[in-house]
């Protein structure tokens, strides 16, 4: 039986673990390897690690860091950052990563998804779309860590991703990033009918209730979060956390009852 996935998303900046608000003001929260060890103990469903410097710095992925993360990680690991071609993707997979996340590169070259999928399988290729609400409705896609608006239509691009054979789509709300005020459900309502593969939502989760709301509304979906799993309390003290199995079961109660 398939269940929703609860996925911590870790951002790497200057080789440290950080958390942003609206893609700005990166706050250092610790060492990525230590965070992975804690999520191992808490038996997280999956882990997403995004190097937010690689593309903006125009460099290749940090293979040494990826290797260390993969060696430590005891759950499926999705890595993104700096991957621009199939050669780099294959090297990342060779280090023990289960999925790769592509963002800016596929805006410039959508067929990169098909190229990599033909080598490693569609299930291992993830498209991450960073989006921001337009002033008068709709959404724009941004690239290079939110610094540049892409000249594409979100809805048409989602259809293109399906056609290229993507295995999963992560939709990340820049407006909600780090705000801990709940997911952008209007955004998900808009795009979910266009997504024909597993969908993961990132940006805005501030409580387990936000995850429960997402699952109740959409069923089998990925619920990703950053701040929720690294901060505690209104003063945002750094504390790595993850829901216990009993709490997760309760979060998924609606889906389980329908199965």
CATH number at residue 210: 3.20.20.70
DSSP 55: T
Rounded distance between C-alpha atoms, residue 6 and residue 12, angstroms: 20
pTM for this structure?
A: 0.95
Nearest Cα neighbor of 248 from 35, 20, 44 is: 44
Neighbours of 192 (CB within 10 A): 17
Active site amino acids: 130
**Structure confidence by residue, pLDDT tens digits, 59-89:** 999 999 999 999 999 999 999 999 999 999 9
Domain that holds residue 78: 5-258
CA pair distance 188, 101, nearest whole angstrom: 19
Q: DSSP assignment, residue 194? A: G
| Of 103, 42, 80, residue with least CA distance to 244 | 42
**Number of domains present in the structure of the chain:** 1
Residues 86-139 pLDDT 10s: 999 999 999 999 999 999 999 999 999 999 999 999 999 999 999 999 998 899
Strands 168-173 and 125-133: parallel
């Amino acid at each position: 039986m398939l269940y929703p996935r609860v996925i911590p998303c870790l951002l790497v900046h200057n080789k440290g673990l950080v958390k942003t608000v609206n893609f700005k003001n990166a706050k250092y929260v610790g060492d990525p390897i230590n965070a992975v060890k804690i999520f191992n103990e808490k038996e997280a469903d999956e882990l997403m690690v995004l190097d937010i410097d690689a593309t903006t710095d125009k460099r290749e992925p940090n293979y040494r860091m990826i290797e260390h993360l993969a060696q430590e990680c005891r759950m499926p690991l999705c890595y993104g950052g700096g991957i621009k071609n199939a050669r780099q993707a294959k090297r990342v997979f060779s280090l023990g990563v289960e999925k790769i996340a592509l963002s800016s590169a596929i805006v410039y070259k959508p067929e990169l998804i098909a190229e990599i999928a033909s080598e490693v399988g569609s299930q291992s290729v993830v498209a991450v779309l960073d989006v921001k609400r337009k002033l008068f409705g709709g959404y724009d896609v941004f690239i290079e860590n939110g610094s540049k608006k892409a000249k594409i239509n979100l809805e048409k691009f989602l259809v293109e991703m399906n056609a290229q054979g993507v295995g999963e789509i992560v939709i990340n709300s820049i407006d909600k990033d780090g705000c801990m005020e709940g997911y952008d459900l209007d955004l998900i309502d808009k795009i979910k009918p266009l997504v024909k593969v597993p969908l993961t939502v990132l940006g805005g989760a501030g409580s387990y209730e936000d995850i429960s709301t997402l699952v109740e509304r959409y069923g089998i979906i990925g619920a990703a979060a950053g701040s929720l799993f690294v901060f505690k309390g209104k003063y945002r003290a750094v504390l790595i956390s993850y829901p216990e199995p009993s709490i997760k079961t309760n979060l998924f109660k609606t889906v389980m009852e329908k199965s």
